[in-house]
Structure 1
Amino acid sequence: MKQKSAIRRRSRRLLAVGTAVVLGALLLAGCTSGASSDSSGTSGSTGQSGLVAPERDMGGAEQGAADSAAGGAIEGVTTDVQASDRDVITTGSVSITVTDPIEAAQTAATLTEQAGGRIDSRNETPTTDNQPASASLTLRIPADALDRTLADLKELGTVNFVSLSAADVTQQSQDLDARITSLQTSVDRLLALMTEASSTTDLIAIESALSTRQVELESLQSQRNYLSDQIDFSTLSLELYSEGTVAPSSPDNFFTGLITGWNALVATLGGLLVGLGVALPWVVSIGLVAGIVFLIVWVSTRKRKAA
């Protein structure tokens, strides 16, 4: 009995110990799993953070790109300003009906001079029995004052038509500038070589090359100056007509073309008749002189033959 009781007590102890060991193992496994879960969660958070960071960096890059684009848009204003600084030659013609073309011509000249321009040509035809008064001017107006001056000119009377055209010569200007710079550099180099020439032969060769370069340089500079004048000053042809007259215009159909052609023919024939009337006295005088000379020669020839 005592042995059975001892065995039962040992079994209970062993069972208790085994149960404690199992519970301890389970608790340890649970802690390990929790630690792993925490570690995994931390790792996942780190990994998520690692993914978010590049996105933030990418966002910064996109923001930088946006800022750069915005900067590009701001720079676009400068580009537009540079585009507005392109070299452009503006020409045009204006026809205006006024009360007094002669007085209006003087007013137009004054407006042009006040704008800083000049008058390249001016023709005035006063009133006669055959034709009304008219005037025509070639105005050179500063390009930046063209619109303002043109608006002032329109106030002179009734505008018949206005025609303006612009030609971009930026490429031509840049080409001339580049060639001038190149030739100027060549001329400076030749001048330097001339001071270092050690023989008469070298000096003559350098002078010949220098003379050629200088002629080309002066020609290009003259072209550039003319081009600059055309760019800086717009050319405007102004025609002023009296009231009751119509400015000549190009025909727009067959009948107006026929009338224009007939008028041109009549005007041409009238001009030829005027020219013939001017030349007739000279023709008659020359004919008389030629006839007298021919008569003298003929008489002299007859006398020689008779002798």
Structure 2
Amino acid sequence: MRVAIVCVVVLVALAGCFGTELTASDSDVGNMGPANPADAGAGQAQVSGEPSGLNASAQRSVVRTGIVHSQVPDFDAARENLTTTIRTQGGYVSDSTERTVGSTETRHTNGRVVYRVPAENFTAALDRVKREGTVIRSRTNTSDVTGQVADLNARLQNLRAQRNRTRTLYEQANDTEDVLAIGERLSSVQERIERLEARRQALTERVSYATLTVRLEEPTPTNDRPRAWYETGVVNAFLDAASGVVVAARATVVGTAYALPYLIAFGLPLLGLGALLRRWRD
């Protein structure tokens, strides 16, 4: 009796694994065709617990993401405005970071805010984010995960059927060793079911709520205050003085070059006239 029950448990496990792999392969084949994200609209198709009927098979599960990098006059004000808008649209803040950089005169704030927005409001939220400041760059992405959803649902269905059959054998087992063996197998199947349900729940969240990552940065202030002469460093002062000497010498040479023709034209006659006057006096 014990050997027969153990054999049946092994057959049930093999049947469940074979059914899961076969269903997963069928799902992959069905997902080989081109996926058109436009058919999914704003990604409103939700991940159902178990697909059934033609309407469920025709739904598309779409994950939408967007990244916007903008420059804003005031980081805190821009973040507050966007957060208020996203919350009115049914979204929430998933993550937020900020840092202040620069010296006292050039201090400014940069940061990043990750919003989760209902998929049907993704386009409106994206447009609102772009209007908040000057867009430096932006990018959006749409990913069709319909095949993954179908695969998870099929694998869960097979594992639950395997769990039910294993439970029946567990209830019928009388020998202690049989009970332990079947119980261990039942726990393994239940653990696999919980892992797949967690993956499906995470996928459901990604489909239902689009991810919008917003990077905000303030412009770097410029320090236009003139410095006093005593604020200049020693090395800079010496270099400035040396540069001044070079400029003065060059100006002297250039001025002499300009004046030389006039000296020749008017100076030589004057020198000659002076010499004649000295002779006449003598």
Taking structure 2 as the reference length, the TM-score comes to 0.54
What is the CA–CA distance in structure 2 between the aligned matches of 1:92 and 1:172, rounded to whole Å?
21
Which protein is bigger by CA-based radius of gyration? 1
Match among 75, 89, 102 for residue 101 of structure 1: 75
Q: For CA contacts below 8 A with separation 6 or more, give which structure has more relative contact order.
A: 2
Query: Could you tell me which amino acid in structure 1 is paired with residue 89 of structure 2?
Result: A
Q: Residue by residue, what CA displacement relative to the aligned partner does 1:36-69 show, whole Å, maximum 9, x if unpaired?
A: xxxxxxxxxxxxxxxxxxxxxxxxxxxxxxxxxx
Q: Which residue of 2 aligns with 1:195?
A: 171
Structure 1 or 2: larger helix share?
1
1:113 is aligned to 2:87: yes
Task: Give 1:100 deviation, angstroms.
Answer: 0.6
Q: Which residue of 2 aligns with 1:223?
A: 199
What is the CA–CA distance in structure 2 between the aligned matches of 1:127 and 1:112, rounded to whole Å?
27
- Percent identical pairs in the alignment equals 27
Q: Residue by residue, what CA displacement relative to the aligned partner does 1:159-212 show, whole Å, maximum 9, x if unpaired?
A: 222200111111011001100111111112222222222322321221011011
What is the CA–CA distance in structure 1 between the aligned matches of 2:216 and 2:109, rounded to whole Å?
9
Q: Check whether the contact 1:121–1:138 (CA below 8 A) recurs between aligned residues.
A: yes
Q: Check whether the contact 2:107–2:220 (CA below 8 A) recurs between aligned residues.
A: no
Q: Check whether the contact 1:92–1:237 (CA below 8 A) recurs between aligned residues.
A: yes
Q: Residue by residue, what CA displacement relative to the aligned partner does 1:244-294 show, whole Å, maximum 9, x if unpaired?
A: 68xxxxxxxxxxxxxxxxxxxxxxxxxxxxxxxxxxxxxxxxxxxxxxxxx
Question: Displaced runs of 4+ in structure 1, greater than 3 A?
Answer: 78-85
Match among 114, 132, 135 for residue 108 of structure 2: 132
Q: Check whether the contact 2:40–2:61 (CA below 8 A) recurs between aligned residues.
A: no
What is the CA–CA distance in structure 2 between the aligned matches of 1:104 and 1:85, rounded to whole Å?
37
The 10-residue stretch of structure 1 (215-224 or 200-209) with the greater mean CA deviation from structure 2: 200-209
Write the mapping of 1:127-166 to structure 2, written as runs, cut at 5 A: 128-129=102-103, 130-166=106-142
Query: Could you tell me which amino acid in structure 2 is paired with residue 117 of structure 1?
Result: G
What is the CA–CA distance in structure 2 between the aligned matches of 1:190 and 1:84, rounded to whole Å?
34
What is the CA–CA distance in structure 2 between the aligned matches of 1:237 and 1:139, rounded to whole Å?
6
Task: Give 1:128 deviation, angstroms.
Answer: 4.5
Write the mapping of 1:9-20 to structure 2, written as runs, cut at 5 A: none
Task: Give 1:148 deviation, angstroms.
Answer: 1.3
Task: Give 1:93 deviation, angstroms.
Answer: 0.5
Match among 209, 218, 221 for residue 242 of structure 1: 218
Q: Which residue of 1 aligns with 2:10?
A: none
Write the mapping of 1:1-307 to structure 2, written as runs, cut at 5 A: 85-126=59-100, 128-129=102-103, 130-243=106-219
What is the CA–CA distance in structure 1 between the aligned matches of 2:40 and 2:92, rounded to whole Å?
32
Query: Could you tell me which amino acid in structure 2 is paired with residue 190 of structure 1?
Result: T
Gaps (5+ residues) in structure 2?
Answer: 1-38, 46-54, 222-282
3-state SS of the aligned residue for 1:155?
Answer: helix
Q: Check whether the contact 1:93–1:164 (CA below 8 A) recurs between aligned residues.
A: yes
Task: Give 1:221 deviation, angstroms.
Answer: 1.0
CA separation of 1:140 and 1:79: change in aligned 2, threshold 3 A: closer
How many residue pairs match? The answer is 168
Taking structure 1 as the reference length, the TM-score comes to 0.50
The RMSD of aligned alpha carbons is 2.6
What is the CA–CA distance in structure 1 between the aligned matches of 2:124 and 2:68, rounded to whole Å?
14
CA separation of 1:144 and 1:137: change in aligned 2, threshold 3 A: same
Q: Check whether the contact 2:64–2:207 (CA below 8 A) recurs between aligned residues.
A: yes
Gaps (5+ residues) in structure 1?
Answer: 1-77, 246-307
Q: Which residue of 2 aligns with 1:47?
A: none
What is the CA–CA distance in structure 2 between the aligned matches of 1:84 and 1:106, rounded to whole Å?
40
